[in-house]
Amino acid sequence: MGCATTLADVVHRIHVIGIGAGDPDHVTAQAVSALNDTDVFFVMDKGEATHDLVAWRRAICARFISPEKSYRFVELADPPRASSGDYLAAVSDWHAAREQLWADAIATELRPGDVGAFLAWGDASLYDSTLRILAAVARHVDIDYDVIPGITAIQALTARHRLPLNDIGEPVLITTGRKLDPEFSGTAVVMLDGDCAFRKCRPDTRIWWGAYLGTEHELLICGTVGDVGERISAMRADARARHGWIMDTYLLRSAKQASGREEAPRVQGSAAWGPSSSAPC
């Protein structure tokens, strides 16, 4: 695709729109403009358990798109991903299936001159497959696309905890639960962790955790892994069982980096603190 800054004159134009971590107020003015420029929104349907995610996308469009603008949603059944075997091979096969599905949908659902869009939670650049798959689709279908940045879960997490992302002059590691080194040093932000990998870290490691950030179901906990780790695991499992899905992330600081920041562990959930609350964990 190169380093294009404007959409080319092609048959199909696509917006990839970052819509924030969950709070509709995360949607930027640039995103609102792109929403109002879109004729067809493509959304992945992952089954009844994640119906809320599709409903939130529809609600965002209803809130920000002009009543005079005509648009429609095309829901695509997400191909299954193998849960066993080689992880990278499973993801590659899943992306290939999505690529074919998206290519067919774009070719059949968009008329010449129509603009399509994919709505990405947070920002499409961060642990999201949309850009990789569209780059592959562009090799087979006459499309061009632009990317509208969004507020990431990391930004929402640090804002809700009133926490600087980095220590002065220090780097930040962004990784997944699978790749987290329990002996890490410094600051690490962990995403896509279904197994609560933080429990393998030293008990004096500081953790700031958040789930459903920016939504009415928001949950926040902070403390040391030794004090709140099991509580986070239990709350996460309960929330996932109740809602059928969960999106969470957390920030860790090793004991050396966290020295001088001691405070009592705190737990806040949607029953006590909503996304508009000014009192963080």
Which residues, other chains included, contact 160 with Cβ-Cβ below 8 Å and sequence gap of 6+? 210, 213, 218, 220, 275, 280, 281
Identify the helix (H) or strand (E) that includes residue 250: strand 248-253
Same domain? 108 vs 142: yes
Q: Which of 151, 167, 198 is the last residue of a domain?
A: 151
Return the closest-CA partner of residue 251 out of 159, 168, 178, 169: 159
In a domain, 64, yes or no: yes
The pTM assigned to this predicted structure is: 0.86
Same domain? 24 vs 139: yes
Residue range 154-201, pLDDT digits in tens: 999 999 999 999 999 999 999 999 999 999 999 999 999 999 999 999
What confidence tier does 262 reach under pLDDT thresholds 50, 70, 90?
very low
Q: d(Cα 152, Cα 157) in Å, to the nearest integer? A: 9
Q: Which of 134, 151, 168 is the last residue of a domain?
A: 151
One DSSP character per residue, the chain reads -TT-SS--S-SEEEEEEE-BSS-GGG--HHHHHHHHT-SEEEEEE--GGGHHHHHHHHHHHHHHS-TT---EEEEEEPPP--SSS-HHHHHHHHHHHHHHHHHHHHHHHPPTT-EEEEEESB-TTSS-SHHHHHHHHTTTS-EEEEEE----HHHHHHHHTT--SS-TT--EEEEEGGG--TT--SEEEEES-SS-GGGGS-TT-EEEEEESTTSTT-EEEEEEHHHHHHHHHHHHHHHHHHHS---EEEEEE-HHHHTT-----EEE-TTT--TT-S---
Contact (Cβ atoms closer than 8 angstroms) between residue 209 and residue 248: yes
Structure token digits, residue 251: 């920030």
Residue range 64-94, pLDDT digits in tens: 999 999 999 999 998 888 878 888 898 998 9
pLDDT at 2: 52
Strands 172-176 and 187-191: parallel
Contact (Cβ atoms closer than 8 angstroms) between residue 251 and residue 163: yes
Q: What residues make up the domain containing 173?
A: 154-268
Same domain? 171 vs 128: no
In a domain, 191, yes or no: yes
Same domain? 143 vs 186: no
Contact (Cβ atoms closer than 8 angstroms) between residue 150 and residue 17: yes
Same domain? 26 vs 101: yes
Structure token digits, residue 35: 């929403």
Contact (Cβ atoms closer than 8 angstroms) between residue 106 and residue 115: no
State how many domains the chain has.
Answer: 2
Same domain? 122 vs 190: no
In a domain, 273, yes or no: no
Same domain? 146 vs 21: yes
CATH number of the domain residue 200 falls in:
3.30.950.10
Same domain? 100 vs 189: no
Quick check: 10 pLDDT over 90? Answer: no
Quick check: 137 pLDDT over 80? Answer: yes
The residue whose two tokens read 């980096």 is 257
Same domain? 135 vs 27: yes
pLDDT at 6: 55
In a domain, 206, yes or no: yes
Structure token digits, residue 140: 């087979």
Higher pLDDT, 46 or 109: 109
Same domain? 141 vs 178: no
In a domain, 7, yes or no: no
Q: Which of 119, 151, 183 is the last residue of a domain?
A: 151
Same domain? 16 vs 147: yes
pLDDT at 270: 46
Hey, which residues does 44 pair with through a beta bridge? 76
Same domain? 262 vs 195: yes
